[in-house]
Amino acid sequence: MNRIISLLFAISLLASCGQGTKNNRGLTGEEVKPISVSEFLSDAGPFVDQSVKISGTVVHVCRHGGQRLFIVGEDGEERIRITTGKDIPEFDIELEGETVEVTGIVKELIIDETYLAEWEAEVMEGSTSDRGEGHEGGVGHGEGHGDSPASNLEQPEAGDQPETEEPAEDPTESQLARIQQVRDEIAQSGKDHLSDYWIETIEFKVIKE
Amino acid sequence: MKLRKWNRIIHRDLGYVFFGMSIIYGLSGIALNHLDDWNPDYIIRTGEIILDDIPQPGTITRQQAAGLVDRIDRDYRYKSHFFPQENILKIFLSEGSATINLATGHAYIEVIKKRPVFREVNFLHYNKPKKLWTWFADLFAGLMILFAITGLFMLKGKKILIGTQEPRRLEATIRRILGD
């Protein structure tokens, strides 16, 4: 009985190890629309809940869990958030710098006053929230969550000393500031809401040059 | 075979199976309890240097960016580069990345390495493989409950349950329930 149990255990572990990052699953016959990064950024609304295929250079992979990455187009100015799907366990950090082709479903989060009020209530209660992720630098663009100090590397004024680490910002204050920033963006947009778009991955592959 | 003997066999055999799973969940549990203190998946090392005589933003080719990498460290390998902001050049290396302020020459280097053992056990603990592993982890959890219950009845006689006044009566009740 010992041997049987040990064998079953070993087989299960081997089977689970074989279910790592699967990135070449076929689609189930759904039409896939190829789009460019600039097309997506200019107006992703028509593509919501549809399968799209998009290529770009990976500029950031989330260091905690690898559930998100960000790609840019040729101009490298604005980025799109890509999240894992049910068949993708995580994104490997080695994807940074690679050009990838992602097939996935466009998702939308509508950010209106109701959403902001709920977010604000969570912050005031002290509960941790990931609502702020992807909203830095403007809703819909997802400039990453700045988990690298290099993201603050700016052109200093003349005579500046070498950079030192700034004291950590109070998370509640930073969340409230972000909420207010989004409110200001909604006010400037002339609409009653903003939309945050991202792509949930079905499959992806690295494009070798 | 007597009930107690089966209880011992089950508890012993589950213990063999649980050794590996306990190591996995125990190690990753400790690692994940301290997420505020460290990154359990990656070892991230950083450094800063000042480079001189760097090219201007509009003229940087792949060869020039690769040349900058050589100047930072000959062991690093260039992968690609882009400009996240004007005057900021980010070069992706096989080992991590280098972010260079082209106006000042200030380079911030980040070298990332997967943390052995912890990354693998965290991968399983987070149920990232899903599918078959989900079922296996559920089975493990159920068997852990069985393991805990059988552990209560490992000892004979008065010590069958710690703190119990009438262990034999309890054993007799269980036998009646099981029809033994």
What are the pLDDT digits (tens) for A58-67? 999 998 889 9
pLDDT at position A202, please?
94
d(CA B84, CA A72): 9
Least confident of A167-181, B13-27, B43-57, B105-119: A167-181
Beta-carbon contacts of residue A196 (< 8 Å; ≥ 6 apart): A108, A109, A111, A134, A135, A139, A140, A142
Query: What residues in A contact B129, CB-CB < 8 Å?
Result: 16-17, 19-20, 89
Separation in Å, CA of B134 to nearest CA in chain A? 9
Instruction: Tell me the C-alpha distance between A109 and B84, whole Å.
Output: 25
The pLDDT of residue B21: 87
Chain A CB contacts of B90 under 8 Å are 59, 150
Percent of chain B with pLDDT over 90: 29
Indicate yes or no: CB of A63 within 8 angstroms of CB of B97.
no
At B74, the pLDDT band (50, 70, 90 cuts) reads confident
* CA atoms within 13 Å, Cβ hemisphere of A201: 29
Tally A–B CB contacts below 8 A. Answer: 103
- What are the helix (H) ranges across chain A? 2-17, 37-42, 113-125, 171-189
Question: How high is the pLDDT of residue A154?
Answer: 40
Q: What's the confidence (pLDDT) of residue B54?
A: 84
Quick: pLDDT tens for B1-19: 578 888 888 888 888 878 8
Residues A24 and B74: their CA atoms lie apart, in Å, by 35
Contacts of A103 (CB under 8 A, 6+ apart): A27, A32, A51, A52, A53, A201, A202, A203, A204
Mean pLDDT of B67-95: 91
Say whether pLDDT at A27 is over 60.
no
| A48 pLDDT more than 90 | yes
Are B48 and A164 in contact by the 8 Å Cβ rule? The answer is: no
Given this model, what pLDDT does residue B160 score?
55
What was the pLDDT predicted at B36? Answer: 85
pLDDT single digits (tens) A151-207:
445 433 333 333 444 455 677 888 899 999 999 999 998 889 999 999 999 999 999
3-class SS of residue B98: strand
pTM: 0.72
**What's phi and psi for B144, nearest 5 deg?**
-65, -40
In A, minimum Cα distance to B99 occurs at A150
Evaluate if residue B92 carries a pLDDT over 70: yes
B101, pLDDT greater than 80: yes
User: What pLDDT band is residue A209 in, cutting at 50, 70 and 90?
Assistant: low
At A55, list the tokens. Answer: 């290529």
CA angle (B74 as vertex; B73, B79 as ends), nearest 5: 85
| Amino acid A30: pLDDT | 66
What angle, rounded to 10 degrees, do the helices at B131-152 and A2-17 form?
150
Considering chain A, what percentage of its residues have pLDDT values greater than 70? Answer: 66
pLDDT at A40 over 60: yes
B90 vs A57: CA distance, rounded Å:
12
pLDDT band at B43 (very low <50, low <70, confident <90, very high): very high
Q: How far apart are the first and last CA of chain A?
A: 53
Helix axes B131-152, B3-33, angle to 10 degrees: 120
B79 with A97: Cβ contact below 8 A:
yes
DSSP designation for A166:
P
Q: Which residues of A fall within a CB distance of 8 Å from B97?
A: 96-97, 150
- Work out the mean pLDDT of chain A and round it to a whole number: 76
- Residues on chain A touching B16 (C-beta within 8 angstroms): 2, 5-6
Of B161, B158, B140, B141, the closest CA to residue B150 belongs to: B161
Q: Which residues contact A155 (CB under 8 A, 6 or more apart)?
A: B87, B101, B103, B104
Residue A126: pLDDT over 90 = no
Closest of A196, A42, A32, A46 to residue A103, by C-alpha? A32
Q: What pLDDT score was predicted for residue A118?
A: 92
- Among A10-14, B4-8, B27-31, B172-176, the range of highest mean pLDDT: B27-31
CB atoms within 10 A of CB A167: 5
CA distances from A5 to A18, B1, B12, B92, B121 (A): 20, 20, 11, 46, 21
| Mean pLDDT for chain B overall | 85
Whole-number CA gyration radius for chain A: 20
pLDDT value, residue A45: 92
